[in-house]
Structure 1
Amino acid sequence: MALHTVTITEISHHNERVMFFSVTKPAGFTFKPGQFVRCGVALTPDPQKEEDFLMRPYSIASHHDEDKISFYIARVLDGALTPKLFEKKVGDALYLDDTAYGLMLPERLEKGGTLFCFASGTGLSAFLSVVKDNPWKRFDNVVVVHCARCGDDISLTEAFTEAVRKQNREVNFRFIAATTRESDPCKCGEITQRIPEAIERGEFEKMGFTFTPEWVRAMICGNPGFVDSMKKVLKARGFTAPRGEKLGTYVAENFW
């Protein structure tokens, strides 16, 4: 076990359910956009062994050239770790694994076409890292689709807008919000149903997209139910996952 002690440098509570925070980046720590790393807290004053820490994997939201590691997380009311993280303040210590993991990587997809980044909840975190890393060097256009229960949970749009603006790619980017339980019509997303159902009902074709593996590449990150449903819908349309050295037209990562 090799863990780094890191310091919280910024925290933004978007609402009582989700927050964005950053920690100092350990010297020599490397990762690829789309990967995740374990982050957590110590359970004892002098932690020495694995059971002295409470660690969970979280997708990385920052770019690998930044001097910080950022995360976008949701509070799990009966969870062991997230209630503790929501109590933390700037300057507090956390712990970070020394290795990032995950194969939900843009380079595992065939080049060209429009890259769709499908996220449920805070699975969106990984796609901020992807968008910051100039995905247009591999794809023609990028569309981020964020599915959440209500409009208040669609809270990273400004961060995506800033990342895209810095790369002068506004005309090649679109952010689509999908809300499934929003009662206020003013806060509803462009899509008001689950994303797999929206695909099946042709909602993206209505927006002007040709949603086929010839024209679309897909990345999926979220809870297991969301990921499984998305895989099923995409496979039915002919999308394929990478196999060994053979590139695919979709890649996916379960958020837990």
Structure 2
Amino acid sequence: MTAEAQTVSPAAPAFPIPAGVYAQAVTAVQHYTDRLFRFRMTRPDGFRFRSGEFVMIGLPNAEKPVFRAYSIASPAWDEELEFFSIKVENGPLTEHLQKIVVGDTVLMRKKSTGTLVHDALIPGKRLYLFSTGTGIAPFASVIRDPETYEKFETVILTHTTRTIDELQYGKDLVAEIKADELMSEFVGDKLLLHSSATREGEQRGERITTLIETGKLFSDLGLPAIDPATDRAMICGSMDMLKDTKALCEKLGLVEGSNAMPGTFVVERAFVD
């Protein structure tokens, strides 16, 4: 983002900022649907994270702010922080978060963490990023990181939502990467996107687990079926999607990894309800 965008100052918080928390200014807000939006905010000086990690964010609208886990959608090199969120009516945080505007203050705890990072995977040839809904957020970070393309020959982002309009964030993201002169240099033709809406009768309207089991995912992409010797996977989405996709990965011979013990696939269980 431009230096001008980073000069936005946060609005004066209504309550004192808790210890161990950054107070950052919102620099951009974009609403995609009545259920989804993204926002960007200033990045604290000295804040470091690995692409794919999440942080706890909240708002200064109460004496004891509500914090929720949000994956950082921007890559580790970005000068700002980006987040992709659902809108939940009467949600303790999202009811208020969805109403933020440029200049408002967002709180963020100082520690980032997560398993959707390269350190949790052993080397491979292809990287599958399986996501549903706002589960695409950590992968928005991963696919904009040069390290991803140094480690893998092909990167496949799958995004499944209920409706076609909910796919727009992912489509815009990939289009922006390919149109950006600097990012397109390291991404080249390595990045593939497979989008599917389950409730609107698209040609690709099946759940991701069905697409994998029937082989349609691979025929659509012109790739061989998943091979544990060469393929790696990251999974982020709803609890049901995590459970079903994890079980399918294990059935295919992949082994779950972690930061302490890298494997051939990883799952992120921290998400926004």
State whether TM-score is above 0.5. Answer: yes
1:102 aligns to what? 114
1:248 aligns to what? 263
Alignment of 1:34-113 (within 5 A): 34-44=52-62, 47=63, 52-113=64-125
1:233 aligns to what? 248
**2: distance between equivalents of 1:236 and 1:136?**
27
Aligned length: 245
Q: CA deviation at 1:66?
A: 1.6
**2: distance between equivalents of 1:242 and 1:39?**
26
Q: What 5-or-longer segments of structure 2 have no aligned partner?
A: 1-18
Q: What amino acid maps onto 1:59 in structure 2?
A: S
**2: distance between equivalents of 1:78 and 1:199?**
36
Root mean square deviation of aligned Cα: 1.7
Higher mean C-alpha displacement, 164-173 vs 114-123: 164-173
Q: CA deviation at 1:197?
A: 1.6
Q: What amino acid maps onto 2:227 in structure 1?
A: T
Q: What amino acid maps onto 1:83 in structure 2?
A: E
Partner deviation per Cα, 1:155-207 (whole Å, 9 max, x = no partner): 22122232244233342111110111115xxxx3x521111121111112323
SS of corresponding position for 2:143: helix
Contact kept in structure 1, 2:121 and 2:258, CA below 8 Å: no
Percent identity reads 28
Q: CA deviation at 1:111?
A: 1.6
SS of corresponding position for 1:31: coil
**1: distance between equivalents of 2:133 and 2:260?**
31
2:172 aligns to what? 158
Q: What 5-or-longer segments of structure 1 have no aligned partner?
A: none
2:41 aligns to what? 23
In proportion to residue count, which structure has more strand?
1
Does residue 173 (structure 1) correspond to residue 187 (structure 2)? The answer is no
Partner deviation per Cα, 1:197-219 (whole Å, 9 max, x = no partner): 21111112323322221232111
1:203 aligns to what? 216
Aligned pair partner of 2:228 in 207, 213, 227: 213
Contact kept in structure 2, 1:3 and 1:95, CA below 8 Å: yes
- With the length of structure 1 as denominator, give the TM-score of the two structures: 0.90
- With the length of structure 2 as denominator, give the TM-score of the two structures: 0.85
Contact kept in structure 1, 2:115 and 2:258, CA below 8 Å: no
Q: What amino acid maps onto 2:52 in structure 1?
A: G
Q: CA deviation at 1:245?
A: 5.4
